[in-house]
Structure 1
């Protein structure tokens, strides 16, 4: 008889432990360096034998003197980034749009914790990350990611807590910690963000002069100097306003790093909206193109570009004086065979017939939209990207003239960078989403490039000041503004393009404490005297949907796939992504229901401890799955 431990795993219901993950990576390279031993608390653990690792690395182990970038609190930042938390994401269907079909996510919560929670589900899954983190102006509230300090003591020392209970401080230039705390804040988040990037993924980071030097050093350390792609310069404002003493600041920076630069495809400079509109034709494969002149003015005497071409009716043509063909004859013949050449009748073209008279044809080459872009310049042309005022005005126009947000990045700023690299099906992420400009940029990119993209936005639900126009208009948090902006931008795009069918919805999730009671995390073994207590290990305010999506995070599944619920003998059974995961969270599930679930052969199954009358019933469930669906993984919560 098999035991329940063999068949059923206890769900983790915590974020990934970064320290254990790092140990596993080292073990893959140097298995002899991972050994059992005692930690400082006397517990037996698996860890790294640094002496054995040093032997393997030989003379490449560095001493005290080395080039490095450090600051007060860096070690604590590394520890914080790798420490797991007992948090979850709770679905908010009422705030969502097109919940059942959308693949876009809007997450409300402190972004460091959200990034931790997403580590399993979105590991190596994001193609483009764009972030516009808070600039270090010297008078901003910045999150201090320290959770082990007594709350009263903390508030006494720092004097500020946000509405979600996250502790904050005012990063004053006079505090002696101006750069250190900002560096710790961004370092932790970038450590986690890198894990989410796919192998050929890239991150774009907006920054100004206050921290651009430190940002570069931090990114060099996290992503590696070899993965630095470029620093782009954006003309963000005019030189208007009060005359400065030295120089008018009219630019900001956008750093770009790859997860693995060797895997990244060629960057292309995006076309402007007006230029894209000239690409209106489709070939038999549905690819979009426009006709480009094959004959153009040039004083070249190269006879290889002045040959005769036979047109569809047999007329032979050649360029007039002062004109040449774009290709030499061999390249033209190749393009003709590839279906790249278009002949059009005309009486005013730049070609002559064999007799030297005006030809009746002109010749064009198909230029496809995907190949229409050259290499981008690090100094972005002004006509390609708007200034701050345009971004702020865009949001104001969407909100019927109400100025609900200040200093908004223009849509075409973020769209410019998404366009460089994003392809059909890619995911774009922004974990400092603010007014949700990135969502609008993603939607507009889909329209312009005729592709489908997905986005993940993360924003802490900071309160709007009561004196602000946003609060007076009924918006109490930044998240409310962001969600409403996506809805309004979606409606505008659909109104401008009624013929299109894209994903304009988004699923809303809110960061919250674990679905499980504290007893769930106690380091105790199962025993009969604990069963009664464990039967109610789920918090009373959590429903089936909370538990389902909590299990998806635990099992590392994306949160954007379809699911359904059916009633089997009076029990609600949830099916996520057609058998990828099935779950039933009701008590005392009958054997007939277990058998019907097993007969569907799901890849994974989640049940509650209270689903079983006792250990024999749990063992029986294992036997049923061993018989009917032996490859199904089973977890209990």
Structure 2
């Protein structure tokens, strides 16, 4: 039987309602009848774990919550239009900048990027009481909130009743919290799908919604996956009425913390100022003409003049040895008493055992012998003094991150103003802070994929490029920013600012590199959210009658536009290597041998044979084991015979998956 061309728009992806139903049908076939779930049967299968409808449960709830959750399960209906003219290094870059509503964009990305993202960093709009741009046309107004909450009667009349004189204020505040939560909830649900099992999400927030956001992420990611509540302390505000509110938070969650634990994951960051200390010590070593005694004295004097700039974890390393290496003498006592650690350690000059702690030595006798041979055990003048372990500063370069850190925000604003030639954005995040935390939670992975769907000025993309410039990595980013209008002479929208900031940052990073430095990806592909390339049927009889005779695609769309929509519907990474050849008057696309696409029109039987032969020949140039999909334009054939002939030729050549758009 000849293969059929299934429309790509009929496909379902992970997290969408249809896919969720398919999963349930596989697990509990008796509970899914004629494409609907019998909740009573499902409850029987779940047993006591299934709560009754009337059960009270702990957790965050608000009017409109169910509708917000439903939004996350809807399939995307739009597409992304490629904009090479807005991009940098379109053909080679693997970074993406997407303009459009981030909920629809996330739904579009879900098929191709589920379980692909290493780190999600977002700095969502803080709830200042203003109307949200991200309202999805479905979040509640104050009046709607009051109706759902029972504060208005059927006629819409506000029923205040008895209460304090702040009752109206509380209702207004509840409405604002509701709108904000309904905006965040579906986006976090879709984002959860995109993260790898080893992935981590970081969400910046202020005091206004911190408590509710914490409960919301507990619900989406699971309270057991909470990692930390980071406090970013800025500069104090002396004009505050009560307390200087000069901090923000970063809530950090793993997608699967038990999995990280099983892998033995440890997050470590480079000690602050360690490079400065090592650099100063190196200069003292040179200035002292390689005299360890003089160099040590110079280092101790320098530390004493720093007036508390460094913690004891650095100032304890105040000696320089005969090789010019900075070290400290660390204790050798065992934290707990053990019999095998109670041995004598003779002094190298007197031969008499040195003093030993009651708990014994930290190393076994065999390991201690190895440390002695390496010159890592320090002795005093005689056996009456203690022995120490020689610990080098260069070996202690990493430390556990603290949950509170101080970083003035003014420097980030000044750096962005300098880069952009003037002030264009209020309160940008600090590139260095984001670089440090993204690298930490990505476990120093040099090929991590980072997503930010509240991109703002583009700090996350800038941070990713900085990380790559620092270690030659190949990390990549996906940024999503709404085209929110701004009152700036040079820029129409915030998304325009995002793209320009990334262009300038990329140029700055490229210009600062040395000739022998590895190539860093400082480009990005720009896309804009738009309606589907496929015309939506309006249900009229006229359109139904003519459907087979007219083009089903929107006017003005190119074959490149169609290809991107096919990639999104098929779940193909947008940066998949692409080749293109001209065949029978139109482009034949090859996406890494896994997907071929041809959107030509007026395809006769003869042209269909020509395209099929070209397609088979191209596939056979580099045959792979994976199934290959072929996608064509649904109305591209002149008649049914041409379409059937094309399908038969592909089936005979071994193609098993045919799609149409």
Provide the TM-score with structure 1 as the length reference.
Answer: 0.77
Which of 565, 572, 579 lines up with 2:593 in the alignment?
Answer: 579
For the residue of structure 1 that corresponds to 2:193, the secondary structure is: helix
| Deviation at residue 188 of structure 1 after TM alignment | 1.4
| Contact in 2 for aligned 1:267/1:420 (Cα 8 Å) | no
| Deviation at residue 608 of structure 1 after TM alignment | 0.9
For residues 494 and 329 of structure 1, the distance between their equivalents in structure 2, rounded to whole angstroms, comes to 53
The residue number in structure 2 matching 1:605 is 630
For the residue of structure 2 that corresponds to 1:215, the secondary structure is: helix
| Contact in 2 for aligned 1:115/1:192 (Cα 8 Å) | yes
The residue number in structure 1 matching 2:655 is 630
| Contact in 2 for aligned 1:97/1:507 (Cα 8 Å) | yes
Higher fraction of strand: 1
| Contact in 1 for aligned 2:115/2:195 (Cα 8 Å) | yes
| Contact in 2 for aligned 1:269/1:373 (Cα 8 Å) | yes
| Contact in 2 for aligned 1:307/1:329 (Cα 8 Å) | no
The residue number in structure 1 matching 2:438 is 418
For residues 305 and 489 of structure 1, the distance between their equivalents in structure 2, rounded to whole angstroms, comes to 58
> Which stretch has the larger CA shift, 200-209 or 588-597?
588-597
The residue number in structure 1 matching 2:83 is 92
For residues 82 and 305 of structure 1, the distance between their equivalents in structure 2, rounded to whole angstroms, comes to 68
Task: Write the deviation string for residues 453-492 of structure 1: whole angstroms up to 9, x where unpaired.
Answer: 1100000011111xxxxx23x1221111111111111222
For residues 254 and 373 of structure 1, the distance between their equivalents in structure 2, rounded to whole angstroms, comes to 21
| Deviation at residue 76 of structure 1 after TM alignment | 1.5
The residue number in structure 2 matching 1:141 is 132
For the residue of structure 2 that corresponds to 1:626, the secondary structure is: helix
Equivalence map 1:285-304=2 (5 Å): 296-298=328-330
Structure 1: runs of 5+ lacking an equivalent:
37-45, 155-170, 281-290, 309-319, 344-348, 355-361, 466-470
Kindly indicate whether residue 91 of structure 2 is the aligned counterpart of residue 77 of structure 1. Answer: no
Kindly indicate whether residue 639 of structure 2 is the aligned counterpart of residue 619 of structure 1. Answer: no
The residue number in structure 1 matching 2:152 is none
| Deviation at residue 277 of structure 1 after TM alignment | 8.0
Which of 417, 424, 434 lines up with 2:456 in the alignment?
Answer: 434
For residues 58 and 201 of structure 1, the distance between their equivalents in structure 2, rounded to whole angstroms, comes to 32
Structure 1 pair 268/66, CA: closer, same or farther in 2 (3 Å)? Answer: closer
Which of 179, 188, 191 lines up with 1:190 in the alignment?
Answer: 188
For residues 255 and 454 of structure 1, the distance between their equivalents in structure 2, rounded to whole angstroms, comes to 22
| Deviation at residue 261 of structure 1 after TM alignment | 1.2
For residues 224 and 638 of structure 2, the distance between their equivalents in structure 1, rounded to whole angstroms, comes to 58
| Contact in 2 for aligned 1:9/1:635 (Cα 8 Å) | yes
| Deviation at residue 438 of structure 1 after TM alignment | 0.2
For residues 333 and 510 of structure 1, the distance between their equivalents in structure 2, rounded to whole angstroms, comes to 66
| Contact in 1 for aligned 2:31/2:37 (Cα 8 Å) | yes
The residue number in structure 1 matching 2:301 is none
| Contact in 2 for aligned 1:410/1:437 (Cα 8 Å) | yes
Task: Write the deviation string for residues 45-94 of structure 1: whole angstroms up to 9, x where unpaired.
Answer: x0111111111122232232222321111111112222234200010000
For the residue of structure 2 that corresponds to 1:573, the secondary structure is: strand
Which of 19, 36, 47 lines up with 1:47 in the alignment?
Answer: 36
Structure 1 pair 523/104, CA: closer, same or farther in 2 (3 Å)? Answer: farther
Task: Write the deviation string for residues 281-316 of structure 1: whole angstroms up to 9, x where unpaired.
Answer: xxxxxxxxxx996963357689878887xxxxxxxx
Structure 1 pair 598/294, CA: closer, same or farther in 2 (3 Å)? Answer: same
For residues 415 and 67 of structure 1, the distance between their equivalents in structure 2, rounded to whole angstroms, comes to 37
| Contact in 1 for aligned 2:462/2:505 (Cα 8 Å) | yes
| Deviation at residue 496 of structure 1 after TM alignment | 2.4
| Contact in 2 for aligned 1:135/1:208 (Cα 8 Å) | yes
Structure 2: runs of 5+ lacking an equivalent:
145-168, 280-322, 335-342, 349-353, 383-388, 620-626
For the residue of structure 1 that corresponds to 2:446, the secondary structure is: coil
| Contact in 2 for aligned 1:435/1:481 (Cα 8 Å) | yes
The residue number in structure 1 matching 2:424 is 404
For residues 279 and 550 of structure 1, the distance between their equivalents in structure 2, rounded to whole angstroms, comes to 53
Which of 501, 505, 516 lines up with 1:489 in the alignment?
Answer: 505
The residue number in structure 1 matching 2:602 is 588
| Contact in 2 for aligned 1:121/1:556 (Cα 8 Å) | yes
For the residue of structure 1 that corresponds to 2:127, the secondary structure is: coil
The residue number in structure 1 matching 2:241 is 245
For residues 473 and 87 of structure 2, the distance between their equivalents in structure 1, rounded to whole angstroms, comes to 23
Structure 1 pair 593/300, CA: closer, same or farther in 2 (3 Å)? Answer: closer
For residues 21 and 305 of structure 1, the distance between their equivalents in structure 2, rounded to whole angstroms, comes to 68
Equivalence map 1:5-16=2 (5 Å): 5=4, 8-12=5-9, 16=13
Equivalence map 1:79-158=2 (5 Å): 79-146=70-137
For the residue of structure 2 that corresponds to 1:404, the secondary structure is: coil
For the residue of structure 2 that corresponds to 1:255, the secondary structure is: strand
Equivalence map 1:155-194=2 (5 Å): 174=172, 177-194=175-192
> Which stretch has the larger CA shift, 206-215 or 74-83?
74-83
For residues 145 and 373 of structure 1, the distance between their equivalents in structure 2, rounded to whole angstroms, comes to 44
Give me the CA root mean square deviation. Answer: 3.9
Task: Write the deviation string for residues 177-218 of structure 1: whole angstroms up to 9, x where unpaired.
Answer: 121111111111111111111111110001111011100111
Which of 530, 539, 549 lines up with 1:532 in the alignment?
Answer: 549
Structure 1 pair 529/430, CA: closer, same or farther in 2 (3 Å)? Answer: closer
Equivalence map 1:506-545=2 (5 Å): 506-519=524-537, 530-533=547-550, 536-545=551-560
| Deviation at residue 529 of structure 1 after TM alignment | 6.8
For residues 277 and 621 of structure 1, the distance between their equivalents in structure 2, rounded to whole angstroms, comes to 68
For residues 94 and 630 of structure 2, the distance between their equivalents in structure 1, rounded to whole angstroms, comes to 23
Which of 32, 35, 58 lines up with 2:47 in the alignment?
Answer: 58
